[in-house]
Amino acid sequence: MEDWEKAYQALPGEPYLQVLEKIHAALKPKTYLEIGVQYGFSFCLAGPQTFAVGVDPNPCIQTDLHAWSRIYRQTSEAFFISYPGDPFDLIFIDGLHQYEAIVDDFCNAEQYCTPQSIILIHDTIPLSAESSKKDFDPGFWTGDVWKIVPTLLQARPDLTIFTIACPPSGLTVIKGFGKSEGISSEVVDQFREKEYAWIESRKKTALGVVENREDIWMPLLLNKKS
Ligand SMILES: C[S@@+](CC[C@H](N)C(=O)[O-])C[C@H]1O[C@@H](n2cnc3c(N)ncnc32)[C@H](O)[C@@H]1O
């Protein structure tokens, strides 16, 4: 069986693009930042009320964009050095799928957050050792993005963090910004060395996984009791 098929079997329910669409509809963010735009399949989900900023060194947009939008053809690293704009209400990180890059994207993105902002990180539930290896693979590949979740759960108890078990590879929601404490290099070093075998048996707790059911994740997103 192909890994894509296995991923959709392991995590049933609505795929991440549908979940993201519902998040946009619920939050109606005034400003949205997306790191890793590619064909625009997620970027196009921003609504007409949103000013959307996309960042990708190699965007190949194949969709109609609804939002008032602008795409920066550069790496997120270069973007964050020079972008002088206002904070973002919603940020979706889906760029380079390597732990160190995600740590940098998260720390940089946090600088553009208000206490009401929400950061989403894609590809945080790994499927297998092969598809979560650090080196790029043109097939089903999440890289070792998953390591950001236990890193944040340990380093940032000030934040609210949960991972929606949506196919093909999960979507982590992070909120409650305001303290901007960063992530210590000791914690980053601790998780850098972890292998897939470590996470395999403890995905639910170490990734803060919640069921892929809107009646469960939406109240968590909106701070409502379910
Ligand atoms: C998985 S795709 C994004 C998919 C898109 N978000 C979607 O859901 O349809 C990852 C994208 O990240 C981009 N990327 C790679 N390195 C990057 C970097 N350093 N900064 C920003 N984007 C990067 C790639 O060019 C690629 O288009």
Q: Where are the domains of the chain?
A: 1-222
Nearest CA residue ID for atom 23, ligand 1: 95
pLDDT over 70, % of the chain: 98
Q: What is the distance in A from the centroid of ligand 1 to the CA of 113?
A: 21
Name the H helices within the chain: 3-10, 16-27, 76-82, 99-110, 148-155, 185-192, 196-200, 203-206, 214-222
Threshold 0.85, pTM exceeds: yes
What is the pLDDT confidence band of residue 1, given thresholds at 50, 70 and 90? low
- For the cut 60, the answer to whether the pLDDT of residue 47 exceeds it is yes
Question: Whole-angstrom Cα distance, residue 143 to residue 137?
Answer: 8
Mean pLDDT of 156-184: 94
Mean pLDDT of 9-37: 97
> Which pLDDT score, from 0 to 100, does residue 225 have?
55
- For the cut 70, the answer to whether the pLDDT of residue 159 exceeds it is yes
> Which pLDDT score, from 0 to 100, does residue 138 have?
85
Mean pLDDT of 133-143: 88
Assigned CATH topology for domain 1-222: Rossmann fold (3.40.50)
Nearest CA residue ID for atom 19, ligand 1: 75
The minimum-distance atom of ligand 1 relative to the CA of 101 is: 19
> Which pLDDT score, from 0 to 100, does residue 65 have?
84
SS3 75: coil
pLDDT tens, position by position, 174-226: 999 998 778 999 999 999 999 999 999 999 999 999 999 999 999 999 987 55
The minimum-distance atom of ligand 1 relative to the CA of 20 is: 8
Residue to mutate, 37, 100, 140, ligand 1, most ligand atoms under 8 Å from C-beta: 37
Q: What is the distance in A from the centroid of ligand 1 to the CA of 215?
A: 30
Total Cβ atoms within 10 A of residue 175: 18
The minimum-distance atom of ligand 1 relative to the CA of 60 is: 27
Mean pLDDT of 24-46: 97
Mean pLDDT of 151-158: 96
> Out of 27-31, 66-70, 178-182, 204-208, which region has the weakest mean confidence (pLDDT)?
178-182
The minimum-distance atom of ligand 1 relative to the CA of 58 is: 25
Q: What is the distance in A from the centroid of ligand 1 to the CA of 38?
A: 5
Nearest CA residue ID for atom 6, ligand 1: 37
Q: What is the distance in A from the centroid of ligand 1 to the CA of 226?
A: 34
Question: Whole-angstrom Cα distance, residue 105 to residue 98?
Answer: 10
